Structure 1
Amino acid sequence: MTTDIWIVTCVLLATIIAFVLDRFRLDVVAFVSLLALLLTGILTPTEATAGFSNSLVLMIAGLFVVGGAILASGIADLAGRWLGQVGGTSTVRLTATVMLASALLSAFLSSTGTVAVMLPVVLSLCRRAEVSPSKLLIPLAFGASLGGMLTLIGTPPNMVVNQELRDAGLEPFEFFSFAPAGILMLALGIVFMCTIGTRLLPKMRTSAEDATRHQGYVSRPELIHSYAVDDKICEIRIPRKSKFAGRTLRDLGLRTNFQFNALAVSTPSTKGTVVRKCDADTLLQGGDTLFIKSSNEECLAKLIDEGQIESVALPAVLPKEVHLAELIIPPRSEFIGRTVRDVEFFRLYGTMVLALHDGTQPASTRTSDTPLTSGDTLLVAADAPALERLRKSRNNVLLVSEQEEPPETPLAPAARWVVVILVGMLVAMSFGIVANVTAVLVAATLMVIVGAFRGTNVYQSVNWESIVMIASVMPLATALQKTGTLDLVVSVIVESPGLTNPLALLLLLFAVTSLLSQAISNTATSVLIAPLALELAERLDVSPYPLLMGVALAASTAFATPVASPINALVAGAGRYRFGDFLKVGVPLQVLILLATLACVPFLFPFSP
């Protein structure tokens, strides 16, 4: 082995280990790996930067914009409401409906965007049907993953293997080339989850707290009880003779001196009671009623004594203007690792964080100093405008439940144009009227022109972490080929007697891709495995199409762990799943998809060139 091969191998292994550890952002890991290859002279500057101008990367960025327009226009929410109407109350019927709906959306949207849209809908559906969310949230995630197998744009790995064919001068897959195998896998997944899978999923908890938590936190008392803040929220009446009257919260230093958060203040007037959201400049007046969340009984006693407070009600009866809601921290949120105090929720969203839940127990004390992790849920108090801002948030926090049914989101004025543009893009890609990247970029541009986005929201719709990660990983595949590392691996496989059979080769590629996808990004996995599959096909003189199709299908089988994909992590927090829940359901489904791939892919795409 040459020095270059050793360098590339070390960089590759270090990259995979860093991906698995998940202590650093994916784009940072990939970019550092790219710099290592550039600084060691393995890649030239032109080769190292080629990924950022690759048509695949541009197409994925454009698809983020198209998907963002579908979300922003309310079309995806409309699909979610339709789901609630047809789901019924049977667990089996709900499972099939949720999986089918998420798969259809995921065929054209990102899987993460699909789950973000449908998660609140499914929780509401569970509440009405009195079904534990733990029975439906894993099917929601698996349906979104299986939906990526249906179309060329369903998931980035499909586009990666397609680009590999194009770069090799071969005829690429068509838009619906994935559909025959994808439909079969989706059908198998639905049947499995409706029969065996639903029995393997955790059952409905029977304790009052768990039953409340798993029914969507529909009422204010349930929300308060679920986060163990029953005895933390109280209301105090400010007498006219109180030392607090005529002073602002900032002047009094109530948060630092008395360790409580002010949620709202109610002021009587001739026209009725006026409820205001509190901030540091809120002026207290004699006769006001102040609603607070306090974590310390001694500080509350000190507040009563120094403020000459006469009337205290515990627990408080919060006014209707104070809305309680539950948020979840999604994977790749910028808030992960930061405390509530660092994030400044009040400044960003106008909300007050009352407590958090880490999936095992609520933390209602020292909430401000607790670092946030993916899957954590937060109980917040907000007014109507702040609640609306939270509904529109999908990147750093996701609103999953409220004390009342959320109002139906009306379709945006540009919704009809969004549908027309989407259909036009799909037609152009299906019939090859223009190049796929051209169709996507034109559609993305038109989405902006017709007003599907407001201001700079178009940039927020793009997952830049994924774009940088893909563009940085692609040159790593170039380095594997350039240094002969890929040839070395291919030679070892070809010289192994048991792997010369094409079916055994398909099994090997599927297994390796599926296994790596449990630990690292499925896009990064396909970028690394697709050139190997193409090289093996050429060396063994078999068609590359079944091997690359197998790689694409395997990349969408990230079922076995809660960290296998962002959507698994998202539902893990909302459903309070344990690591073993994914193993029990995911591994059998992966084996089933593997067997189905070995049976149908060679039939759809023969090995003979």
Structure 2
Amino acid sequence: MTYEQIFLFCLLGVVFGFLVWGRIRYDLVAFAALIVAVVGGVVEPHDAFVGFGHEAVVIIALVLIVSRAMMNAGAVELIARVVLSSGRSLSSHIGFMSVIGAGLSAVINNVAALVMLMTLDIEAAEKAKRPVSQSLMPLSFATILGGMITLIGTPPNIVVAEFRGRALGEPFSMFDFSPVGLICSIVGIAFVTLVGWRLIPTTGQAAAAGGADEPGLFVAEAGVKENSKAIGKPVDELYPLAEEHDVAILGLVRRGKRLPGFAASEEIRKSDHLVLEGEPKAIEAFIGAAELNTSASEKHGGIRGQSLVLVEAIVPDNARMVGRTALDLRLLYRRGVTLLGVSRQGKRFRERVRKLTIKPGDVVLLLGPESRVMDATDWLGVLPLADKRHTVIQRGKAFFAVAVFAAAVASSVMGFVPLVVALAAAVAIYCLFNVVAAREVYESVEWPVIVLLASLIPLGLALETSGGTKLIADSILSLTGALPAWAILTILMIVTMTLSDFLNNVATALIAAPVGLSIAQGLNVSPDPFLMAVAVAASCAFLTPIGHKNNTIIMGPGGYRFGDYWRMGLPLEIIIVAVSVPALLFFWPL
């Protein structure tokens, strides 16, 4: 091996190690790796930032903005309006939601589709008096499957399409992914509807979701204000009042420190803080009944202030809150909003709420004036659940938004303009007619994903030009030389799918696509089925909550544990491989 190959293999190994570890943000890891590659001489300085102008990067950013516009205009709401029905059985509900989720994911980003439908699914679970965990994971998987149907449904499709254009002269078009993607979606949805949801453990699964059987439990703090009737009483004297309001008193904080145990016999003093666990509405009612207040009562005028709202919000992995505390963010002083409570898969913790380091998948409870809470959720990058007023839907522009998007897609499919130009024109029109505000244009883009992709593109190019991808492909061929081409295609899918379960799916597609092309060239067969196999496999991350953003988002609301995903995800991945390989060979012959 050459110096460049050894350097790149070692560097990518370190990158993958950090991505699996997950303690450092993936965009920072990728960008740092790019700088190391430049310093190491394997990437030329003038090529270091070509990824930021790459067409795949621009298309992904534009798709996210278009998704925001469709939601702002109420186009998604029009489709989803018929979702809620208490008369459907669980299987019927899951099937109905899955079909809608897959259909939306085919035309907008699958993350946006999940965020829109997730709130409706939680409401349906509350009406049906069942844990939301039974339906939330099937919905997430369905939106992932639906994203495979079109070019713009999921980032791996865009990455693979643009790689084909650079390597073979012509990219995959908008609906080239549809035959195989549609078959995988239909079979996958049938599985999660009829069998898959039965494999999900339900014990303790609705703890963070607000489900009817086990409502979403938050750990919160309430201060003891002057003249409170709780002063002078031992903590256990408040137990009957707490039980009446379905709230548990977990302990007492005095002078900034949590007292040992439950502090049941400790006499309550002014300026103490009670640590509470319960549903948001129950906590709010108990605070009022016990004459307590929040830690920011002077700022807000008390929790009973008419202009205040309580908002539950999910923390995605790219939120500003991740890895930081409310104190670090100076949330109250910068935004006038209090972090009242945190729900983390039903777990209790001893840290003070404002000193608790927030993790992806947490559900936070924010308190403040409505306008400030809505601004704070945007600034923090969290996804509101219980309060939908964060989005002012311009319902009169729904059909206009759909028409603009359809015209953009049609002009690209008919070859009038490239897809990137068509989407850019659609975004410009949305901005011109105020469907998307200028601020929302920048907020809609998931910048960590953009930085990740733009940083890995030069590394992928360097791996190709150094002969690294050919070396990997030759190694695979030497190990599988006696096998037929379809078997090697299957192995490529399994390896890519496994990588995608533990790495970002964009990173997986960037590395696996050149390997797939090299294997096809080594076998002297058409590269298209191998590239399509990479696109399908990179999207199918069903075994873990870290392989796909949708799986991370549902972890907190569904009360899922890390090991819950494989129960439905493993058989689904096996089914996808079994179905997609024959479909690939039929629609994209070797």
With the length of structure 1 as denominator, give the TM-score of the two structures: 0.81
The structure 2 residue matched to 1:214, chosen from 211, 214, 227, is 211
Quick one: distance in 2 between partners of 1:195 and 1:551?
28
Identity level (%)? 29
> What's the CA shift for 1:158?
0.8
Matched with 1:370 is: 356
Q: 1:348 to 1:84 in 2, by over 3 A?
A: farther
1:201-259: CA deviation from partner (whole Å, max 9, x where unpaired): 122659xx959942399xxxx77xx3366x957787699xxxxxxxxxxxxxxxx9977
Matched with 2:38 is: 38
Matched, 1:487 2:452: no
Matched with 1:227 is: 218
Matched, 1:397 2:382: yes
Q: Structure 2: where are the runs of 5+ without partners?
A: 230-252, 258-262, 273-287, 294-302
> What's the CA shift for 1:91?
0.5
Matched with 1:185 is: 184
User: What aligned pairs does 1:103-502 form with structure 2 within 5 A after superposition?
Assistant: 103-203=102-202, 205=204, 210=207, 213-215=210-212, 226-227=217-218, 232=222, 300-302=268-270, 313-314=289-290, 319=304, 321=306, 322-347=308-333, 350-363=336-349, 366-386=352-372, 388-389=374-375, 393=378, 396-401=381-386, 410-411=393-394, 414-498=397-481, 501-502=484-485
> What's the CA shift for 1:476?
1.3
> What's the CA shift for 1:315?
6.4
Matched with 1:72 is: 72
Contact 1:227 1:363 (8 Å CA) reproduced = no
> What's the CA shift for 1:471?
1.2
SS at match of 1:356: strand
> What's the CA shift for 1:82?
3.1
Matched with 2:576 is: 593
How large is the Cα RMSD of the aligned pairs? Answer: 3.2
Matched with 1:243 is: none
Quick one: distance in 1 between partners of 2:412 and 2:213?
40
- Letter matched to residue 401 of structure 1: A
Quick one: distance in 2 between partners of 1:530 and 1:407?
39
Matched with 1:577 is: 560
- Letter matched to residue 56 of structure 1: A
Quick one: distance in 2 between partners of 1:211 and 1:521?
25
> What's the CA shift for 1:410?
3.9
Q: 1:111 to 1:407 in 2, by over 3 A?
A: closer
- Letter matched to residue 108 of structure 2: L
- Letter matched to residue 398 of structure 1: L
Matched with 1:503 is: 486
Contact 1:15 1:33 (8 Å CA) reproduced = yes
Q: 1:544 to 1:356 in 2, by over 3 A?
A: same
> What's the CA shift for 1:94?
1.0
Quick one: distance in 1 between partners of 2:570 and 2:228?
60
- Letter matched to residue 472 of structure 2: V
Q: 1:397 to 1:578 in 2, by over 3 A?
A: same
> What's the CA shift for 1:413?
5.2
Matched with 1:549 is: 532
With the length of structure 2 as denominator, give the TM-score of the two structures: 0.83
SS at match of 1:214: coil
Quick one: distance in 1 between partners of 2:53 and 2:311?
43
> What's the CA shift for 1:93?
0.9
Matched, 1:17 2:17: yes
> What's the CA shift for 1:458?
0.9
Quick one: distance in 2 between partners of 1:515 and 1:257?
49
Q: Which moved more, 1:340-349 or 1:4-13?
A: 340-349
Q: 1:79 to 1:345 in 2, by over 3 A?
A: farther
- Letter matched to residue 70 of structure 1: M
Q: Structure 1: where are the runs of 5+ without partners?
A: 240-255, 261-294, 305-311
Quick one: distance in 2 between partners of 1:353 and 1:135?
29
> What's the CA shift for 1:79?
3.4
> What's the CA shift for 1:542?
0.6
> What's the CA shift for 1:382?
3.4
SS at match of 1:355: strand
Q: 1:460 to 1:228 in 2, by over 3 A?
A: closer
Matched with 2:233 is: none
Aligned length: 539
Q: 1:5 to 1:315 in 2, by over 3 A?
A: same
Quick one: distance in 2 between partners of 1:315 and 1:228?
19
> What's the CA shift for 1:344?
3.2
Quick one: distance in 2 between partners of 1:146 and 1:346?
40
Contact 2:137 2:554 (8 Å CA) reproduced = yes
